[in-house]
Amino acid sequence: MALAVVGCGGDSEPVTVQASGAALAAVQVDGGSWQPLELDADGEAIVDADGPFAVAVVCDTNGFFNYYTIYAGPGATPLWMQCWPPATVDLTIETASPTTRVWGRGFGDLGGGISVAVDRGTHDFVAIDDGTSPPRFEIRRDVTIDEDTTLELDDLRVSGAPMNAAAIEVSGADPSESLLRTVWLVTPNASAYYYRFDSGDSSMPVFPPDALVGTDEQTVEASVRDVAGDVGRSARRRITGDETSVALALPPALGPVTPTFGDEITVTWENDHDWTSTYFYVHDDSFAVYWDVMVLPSYVAAGGAPDPVRIPDPGQLPGWDPAWAITDSTGLGWSFEASRSDGPSRTSASRSGSF
């Protein structure tokens, strides 16, 4: 049974945390001291607090280190903070067509003859072949992998199902910005995408409605970046696949963003738009070390301060290993994103740089 962590008591709405594989998990309720967050055998815990709270998790697997904090409040949707399990088996992809690309859980956009390490368990695989017009696809679901396995795909140019077409009309882009259109498909055990840089043609292939089952989610996204690549904006919307046209309006660019390095890494920003969530991360030059933080709308609704955004001083976390610390900002990059979600739609704006 998961541990219930009680804040102020009362009629709060408990929040589930999933953090399987974590090397450390801790919780802070209403700005108090950090406490260990005891996970059950499935890596879950329940946070039961009346006010704003934060959950911090450390992942240290597969040569990747992540110190991750989420600020939330009562009634938040489940917090998914699990760590990737060690990849213990090899998956080899074999395709009959040289233009077939394959996506799965933890990997994507791979062609035939490639091997990738995956975890044991149930997987979905999404394959797309753009050697035809329209592109053709196959979704292979609920594949159990518990040993080294070869995934064999027929020639999708012949056997694959055709994708539908939708015009992704984008407003608000500046001619100096590079425009990218992307179609995303998320299944229970895979995440796939198909993208095109702006070529003057707004048409994009999308998965038809009869290809989506259960909790599958398909979205279309338009994103732009400035010439330097440091300032970005995006708009996305969930679709069913039978739309022939989707309109996406890009939000305004972010104002000034100022990160500060210290025991507690913070970022201040100019809130000149009606954003509801923020995400901030720092990384080393090899992208093998990430420290990141997300502030959810439920945190602000419960009385939490949205600015500045803070990566908490990890030395305050019970169980923190000093060997994990970042001792100076040399070589560190950073990125900050503000976003807003309204039903099936989401907009965001970001800035990035280095310390």
The whole-angstrom separation of Cα 85 and Cα 3 is: 22
pTM of the model: 0.89
pLDDT tens for each residue of 285-327: 998 999 999 999 999 999 998 889 999 999 999 999 999 999 8
- Six-digit token pair at 33? 């001291």
Quick one: pLDDT at residue 141?
Answer: 96
Average pLDDT for runs of 10 along the chain of length 355: 48 88 95 95 93 96 92 94 86 97 92 92 95 96 96 97 95 92 94 83 93 94 92 95 94 93 93 88 93 96 91 96 93 95 95 95
pLDDT tens for each residue of 259-294: 999 999 999 988 778 899 999 999 999 989 999 999
* Sign of the dihedral through C-alpha 318, 321, 324, 325: positive
Q: Which domains does the chain have, with CATH numbers?
A: 1-83+253-345 (no CATH), 89-162 (2.60.40), 164-249 (2.60.40)
Q: Which residues are registered as beta bridge partners of 267? A: 259, 309
Quick one: pLDDT at residue 125?
Answer: 96
Quick one: pLDDT at residue 74?
Answer: 94
Quick one: pLDDT at residue 153?
Answer: 97
Quick one: pLDDT at residue 11?
Answer: 62
